[in-house]
A and B are shown apart, each in its own frame.
Chain A
Amino acid sequence: MSVGLEVSHLRVVFDEYVAVDDVSFRVAPGESFGIVGESGSGKSTILRAICGLNPIGAGRVALVGEGTLPLPGSKPFRRLVQMVFQDPYGSLHPRQTVDRILAEPLAIHGIGDAERRIERALDEVGLGTGFRFRYPHQLSGGQRQRVAIARALILEPQILLLDEPTSALDASVQAEVLNLMEDLRRRRHLTFVMVSHDLAVVTHMCERLMVMAGGRAVETLAADELSSGRVMSEYTRTLMEASAGFRRQAAG
């Protein structure tokens, strides 16, 4: 069953610095939700706060769906919510093989049948058996990111948090990984919360999105509203124009 997410009045403070200030949003079960902003906007901090990597100063994070749902930070919560990190070169343990990296979450939760699950996970992300015992330094950026996705999915979560999953990849590899993620989402009925600075990627992958700046939510709108330029905030418009790219001044 799909599970959604509700974030209410979230506030995250590091020492004196307010990284996230009173942010609220709701992600329906099975929906793909994007969070866009530039560096320092607090978008990655929100994701890390949701899964408990950053302490929450105020506000609430709760799962939405049928039945009793685990609370954030508990072990059952970990099985439902997983994350794919931005930097493929930093998200895999340098001294562990792909096999060990994938086996670890299973071992932690005492899930048996590891062999079959690992092979299936690799298969799902398009990596053959030859990759199973390689070390991360023997993999390309795109391959590492696939392993990271396989790791996130091996516990069969319902919600996937994606922190700029393709920013560090080459253009041609980006498209493959984006397609892979879309495909997985469709097959497993996952809920996505995706953070990016790239408007094109977010509008491609997400149905609704929230624009952030300086720790605050500037605007929440549907992806096709953004695509067609029906935005309300000046900041969003500036972002859109900047994303359109550089226009060279006429010579003279």
Chain B
Amino acid sequence: MRSSSVSWHDWLMSDRPASRRQASLGRAYAGWRTFARNRLAMAGLLTILALVVVAALADVIAPHSPYEGSLSTTRLLPPSWTFPFGTDDQGRDILSRIIHGSRITLFIVVLVAILAAPIGLLVGTVAGYAGGYVDAALMRVTDIFLAFPRLILALAFVAALGPGIENAVIAIAITSWPPYARIARAETLTIRRTDYIAAVKLAGASPFRIVLRHIMPLCVSSVIVRVTLDMAGIILTAAGLGFLGLGAQPPMPEWGALIANGRNYVLDQWWVAAAPGAAIFIVSLAFNLLGDGLRDALDPRADK
């Protein structure tokens, strides 16, 4: 067993990779090792992984049903062994609600990332590479979206499209992409002037090919880092929308809605708002730590 794990490491760190697969796996492995040396980043990563596991196994893990509660017997009970985070005003177990709510949080965060990041990346690289009128036009559009405070714009969209979690996701995604476009454009402006792009131009590559296959891969890491760092903000915006009743609708246990619910009881039954608040705090912090760690590990200067 021991000798085979040593040889995996050597195979990946080999100076003479023998195939494309070995080379790219080796590179990923080296990046992983840099990342893994950062304890805080690993803590962030493990927390996120725990979140994923909790969300996946919510049905199994949650001790009680998140939707059923008895108004007569279990209303607003403080934390105890049966109800570790207490119960809310409808007698529902808060821990179970938080566990099920993690699915919604994950859903929102992943969907926003999937929607906003590619849009931002595409707009930014095209604007940066094309220059001239195209650049100016795209950047003005980006500026318009950037000029609005995110929550207000999301509110406006949700108000227009109607409340609900899918619309909340779309609204947040629409307001999230501009910073990624800016980052991608800034990187593209630098990359565009390098000799390796000149060489590929000289080989006869079309602008599409250059942007898609040569420039975008270099911008991806910056955008990934930014997206990860933004996740905290996305969670908070979703929570804000939920708090205002414009995101997930009751009885969905979205964390922001849980806090909104607990607002009325915060003085005497503090646990109703505190527990989902703590959950949001921990997950946001974890994403921030993960993002910092990714930035250090993906720093292109480390390649030199």
Q: Is chain B in direct contact with chain A in the complex (CB below 8 A)? A: yes
Which chain A residues have a beta carbon within 8 Å of chain B's beta carbons? 48, 51-53, 75, 78-79, 82-83, 85-87, 89-95, 97, 99-100, 104-105, 108-109, 130-131, 133-135, 137-138, 148, 151, 155
Taking A87-B195, A99-B20, A134-B23 as given, write out 14 further A-B residue pairs in contact, using a Cβ cutoff of 8 Å, ordered by the A residue number: A53-B198, A78-B202, A78-B204, A85-B199, A89-B304, A95-B217, A97-B20, A104-B203, A105-B204, A108-B203, A108-B209, A109-B203, A131-B16, A133-B17
Q: Are the CB atoms of A90 and B20 closer together than 8 Å?
A: no
Distance in angstroms from B194 CB to nearest chain A CB is 6
Distance in angstroms from A76 CB to nearest chain B CB is 9
Q: Are the CB atoms of B214 and A93 closer together than 8 Å?
A: yes
Q: Are the CB atoms of B201 and A100 closer together than 8 Å?
A: no
B15 within 8 A of A: yes
B74 within 8 A of A: no
Q: Are the CB atoms of B199 and A83 closer together than 8 Å?
A: yes
Q: Are the CB atoms of A94 and B202 closer together than 8 Å?
A: no
Q: Are the CB atoms of B204 and A75 closer together than 8 Å?
A: yes
B17 and chain A: residue at smallest CB distance: A133
B60 within 8 A of A: no
B218 within 8 A of A: yes
Which chain B residues have a beta carbon within 8 Å of chain A's beta carbons? 15-20, 22-24, 27, 194-196, 198-205, 209, 214, 217-218, 300, 303-304
Interface centre among A83, A90, A155 (most CB of B within 10 A): A90
A108 to B217 alpha-carbon distance, docked (Å): 18
Kindly list the 10 A-B residue pairs having the minimum CB-CB distance in the complex, ordered from nearest. Answer: A130-B16, A105-B203, A133-B17, A91-B195, A133-B23, A78-B204, A85-B195, A93-B196, A90-B195, A137-B303
Distance in angstroms from A126 CB to nearest chain B CB is 16
B204 is contacted by which of A91, A109, A148 (Cβ under 8 Å)?
A109
Known A51-B202, A108-B209: A94·B20 in contact at CB below 8 Å: no
B196 and chain A: residue at smallest CB distance: A93
Distance in angstroms from A159 CB to nearest chain B CB is 12
Q: Are the CB atoms of B198 and A85 closer together than 8 Å?
A: yes
A148 to B202 alpha-carbon distance, docked (Å): 13
Give the residues in chain B near A109, CB-CB below 8 Å.
203-204
Interface centre among B195, B204, B303 (most CB of A within 10 A): B195
Q: Are the CB atoms of A94 and B218 closer together than 8 Å?
A: yes
A91 is contacted by which of B23, B24, B199 (Cβ under 8 Å)?
B199
A155 to B19 alpha-carbon distance, docked (Å): 23
Q: Are the CB atoms of B20 and A100 closer together than 8 Å?
A: yes
A88 to B202 alpha-carbon distance, docked (Å): 16
Give the residues in chain B near A86, CB-CB below 8 Å.
195
Known A95-B217, A108-B204, A137-B303: A90·B196 in contact at CB below 8 Å: yes
A53 and chain B: residue at smallest CB distance: B198
Give the residues in chain A near B214, CB-CB below 8 Å.
93
Q: Are the CB atoms of A53 and B201 closer together than 8 Å?
A: yes
A104 to B202 alpha-carbon distance, docked (Å): 11
Known A87-B195, A91-B196: A97·B23 in contact at CB below 8 Å: yes
Q: Are the CB atoms of A90 and B194 closer together than 8 Å?
A: yes
A154 and chain B: residue at smallest CB distance: B203
Distance in angstroms from A233 CB to nearest chain B CB is 32
6 A-B pairs within 8 Å (CB atoms) are namely: A78-B202, A78-B203, A94-B196, A105-B203, A109-B203, A109-B204
Q: Are the CB atoms of A133 and B204 closer together than 8 Å?
A: no
Q: Are the CB atoms of A135 and B23 closer together than 8 Å?
A: yes
Interface centre among B196, B217, B300 (most CB of A within 10 A): B196
B16 and chain A: residue at smallest CB distance: A130
Give the residues in chain B near A133, CB-CB below 8 Å.
16-20, 22-23
Known A133-B19, A133-B20, A137-B303: A83·B196 in contact at CB below 8 Å: no
Distance in angstroms from A221 CB to nearest chain B CB is 30
Known A104-B203, A108-B205, A133-B22: A138·B15 in contact at CB below 8 Å: yes
Give the residues in chain A near B194, CB-CB below 8 Å.
90
Q: Are the CB atoms of B200 and A104 closer together than 8 Å?
A: yes
A106 to B300 alpha-carbon distance, docked (Å): 27
Distance in angstroms from A80 CB to nearest chain B CB is 11
